[in-house]
């Protein structure tokens, strides 16, 4: 696709419900990243995928959060038993390859429009 | 710990030059990136410094000094559309793979 897409754009849910957020990266991008941004705050890194593999899941805020990626493309971020503190904008980004020391245009991250999650 | 500090807000007038600083406390990282984010929008990549020195991309330049644990984004010939939040970010070389973003600087450009 032309850019990173995310769905839904907005999600309002009740405390305790599960939600699933979807990210469609740019075609051909092997790396995919999930971030969380609370109102007026910076970006909090959650997890990244190289292909279908997530080498490090320690950035996920709690065991209620999980993420997967299939076919080296679409990724889903699932939040179980949502809490009010989960309310934030969840951003997905993709890059051609995982960033490394040598400057290359391939490590530039392209962000999606985000999913605004509101937990009541 | 690892952190990136930025001024919370900077105000300047159209046509001016503004510098947004990013100071960091991290043992090692691959490079320093800068992103722009308009209200309600997604971050967009601006610049990347893998090595010390100045990188220039049109009206935007970015600088890195690893010895001083310091970098900055320089915006020239400011335009109203430059009003946005600006974030610096690094990927540490040690430990787990986690991008660290700065606290963000809100730039207001006045007519």
CA–CA–CA angle A34, B100, A85 (5° rounding): 55
> How far apart are alpha carbons A21 and B75 in whole angstroms?
35
Please give the average per-residue pLDDT across B86-96, as a whole number: 82
Contact A45 B102 (CB under 8 A): no
Phi and psi (nearest 5°) for A81?
Answer: 45, 60
Contact A111 B98 (CB under 8 A): no
> How far apart are alpha carbons A79 and A16 in whole angstroms?
10
Nearest to B51 by CA among B40, B62, B39, B37: B62
Does position A118 have pLDDT exceeding 70, yes or no?
yes
Quick: pLDDT tens for A67-76. 999 888 999 9
- Chain B hits for A33, CB-CB cut-off 8 Å, are 99
> How far apart are alpha carbons A16 and A117 in whole angstroms?
13
What was the pLDDT predicted at A104? Answer: 56
For residue B111, the distance in angstroms to the closest alpha carbon of chain A comes to: 24
What was the pLDDT predicted at A60? Answer: 92
For residue A116, the distance in angstroms to the closest alpha carbon of chain B comes to: 10
**Chain B stretch 12-41, residues whose beta carbon is closer than 8 A to a beta carbon of chain A:** 30-31, 33, 41
Quick check: B48 contacting A, CB < 8 Å? yes
pLDDT band at B93 (very low <50, low <70, confident <90, very high): confident
SS3 A105: helix
What was the pLDDT predicted at B97? Answer: 66
Contact A55 B99 (CB under 8 A): no
Does position A115 have pLDDT exceeding 80, yes or no?
yes
Helix, strand, coil percentages in chain B from 3-state DSSP, rounded to 5: 5, 60, 40
Which of B51, B96, B101 lies nearest to residue A42, judging by beta carbons? B101
For residue A81, the distance in angstroms to the closest alpha carbon of chain B comes to: 25
Contact A91 B100 (CB under 8 A): no
Please give the average per-residue pLDDT across B9-36, as a whole number: 91
- C-alpha to C-alpha distances, A16 to A46, A82, A107, A118, nearest whole angstrom: 21, 5, 37, 12
Contact A99 B45 (CB under 8 A): no
Quick: pLDDT tens for A19-72. 999 999 999 898 899 999 998 788 999 999 988 988 888 889 999 999 999 888
CA Rg value for chain A: 14
DSSP assigned state of A53: B
Q: Are the C-beta atoms of A76 and A92 separated by less than 8 Å?
A: no
> How far apart are alpha carbons B78 and B72 in whole angstroms?
16
What was the pLDDT predicted at A3? Answer: 92
Range name among B5-9, B57-61, B93-97 with the lowest pLDDT average: B93-97
Quick: pLDDT tens for B26-73. 778 888 899 999 998 899 999 888 889 999 989 999 999 988 889 999
For residue B40, the distance in angstroms to the closest alpha carbon of chain A comes to: 9
pLDDT band at A108 (very low <50, low <70, confident <90, very high): confident
């Amino acid at each position: 696709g032309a850019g990173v897409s995310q769905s839904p754009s907005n999600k309002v849910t009740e405390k305790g419900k599960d939600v699933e957020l979807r990210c469609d990266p740019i075609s051909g991008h092997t790396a995919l990243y999930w971030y969380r941004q609370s109102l007026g705050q910076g970006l909090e890194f959650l997890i990244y995928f190289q292909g279908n593999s997530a080498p490090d899941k320690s950035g996920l805020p709690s065991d209620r959060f999980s993420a997967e990626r299939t076919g080296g493309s679409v990724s889903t971020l699932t939040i179980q038993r949502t809490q009010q503190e989960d309310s934030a904008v969840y951003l997905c980004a993709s890059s051609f390859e995982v960033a490394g020391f040598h400057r290359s245009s391939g490590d530039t991250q392209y962000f999606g429009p985000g999913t605004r999650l509101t937990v009541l | 710990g690892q952190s990136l500090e930025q001024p919370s807000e900077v105000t300047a007038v159209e046509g001016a030059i503004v510098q947004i600083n990013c100071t960091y406390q991290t043992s090692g990282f691959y490079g320093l990136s800068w992103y722009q984010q308009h209200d309600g929008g997604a971050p967009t990549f601006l610049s990347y410094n893998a090595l010390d020195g100045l990188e220039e991309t049109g009206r935007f330049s970015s600088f890195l000094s690893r010895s001083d644990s310091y970098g900055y984004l320089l915006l020239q010939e400011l335009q109203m559309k430059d009003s946005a939040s600006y974030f610096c970010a690094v990927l540490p070389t040690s430990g787990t793979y986690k991008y660290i973003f700065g606290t963000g600087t809100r730039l207001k450009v006045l007519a």
